[in-house]
Structure 1
Amino acid sequence: MSERFYLYDETVEAAVRFVSFAGENRRFDLALVETDRFYGKWLVLDLQSNRFAILGNDDLAEPGYLERTYELKIEEADELRAFLRECLS
């Protein structure tokens, strides 16, 4: 058996916020992970759909990004976007 080749193997400190909220169109259960690993962006996990993304305010401003990433309807994505704008700044 050959040796495993690591590209990196690091342990970092992280702040994790678990939040659940009900919007007009659906409920969101999220884990928001902040580290210095993602260059000022956050790792945002949707615990219901098992989808995640590394997000910053620039990503929130990109049309259709949340809809595609989390497979959301426009109205659902608008609710998530509004919440994340408050949290990620």
Structure 2
Amino acid sequence: MATIERLYDESETTKVRFIGFSTDDFRYDFGIIYTNQFFGKPMVVCMQSGCSTLLDGEDIQDYEQLKKIFRLKNDKQAMDLAVFFEQNLPTSRFETQYD
């Protein structure tokens, strides 16, 4: 039998925001989970695909990564999402706890 070492087991009350919006080309439905975990990065879940990731202001500038994570078809969709995330995600980044 494998030995299991629990690394953490935290409970917290979180703020969850559900946002649906559309552009000229596509409809989006996201859940954004604001938590003290993950160095302050909110967890973003696409309600249509189930794809999720941690995002901050720096991450949303990487259009190729956004396309890959959320299975987007083109750069325009990635740019539209980046604009949306710029307006709806916190801009400050927490310091890492590991040096």
Residues 25 and 75, structure 1, Cα contact 8 Å, conserved in 2 = no
Q: Any unmatched runs of 5+ in structure 2?
A: 91-99
1:15-26 aligned at under 5 Å gives the runs 15-26=15-26
Q: Per-residue deviation at 1:63?
A: 3.9
Q: Per-residue deviation at 1:9?
A: 1.4
Tell me how large the CA RMSD over aligned residues is: 1.6
1:1-89 aligned at under 5 Å gives the runs 5-72=5-72, 73-89=74-90
Residue by residue, what CA displacement relative to the aligned partner does 1:58-85 show, whole Å, maximum 9, x if unpaired?
A: 1012241101111112111111110000
Q: Any unmatched runs of 5+ in structure 1?
A: none
Q: Per-residue deviation at 1:5?
A: 3.9
Provide the TM-score with structure 2 as the length reference: 0.80
Q: Which moved more, 1:51-60 or 1:64-73?
A: 64-73
Aligned length: 89
SS in 1 for 2:39: coil
Distance 1:63 1:4 in 2: 38
Residues 63 and 75, structure 2, Cα contact 8 Å, conserved in 1 = no
Name the amino acid aligned to 1:33. I
Q: Per-residue deviation at 1:2?
A: 7.3
Identity score, percent: 29
SS in 2 for 1:45: strand
Distance 1:3 1:9 in 2: 17
Which portions of structure 1, spanning 4 or more consecutive aligned residues, are displaced by more than 3 angstroms? Answer: 1-5
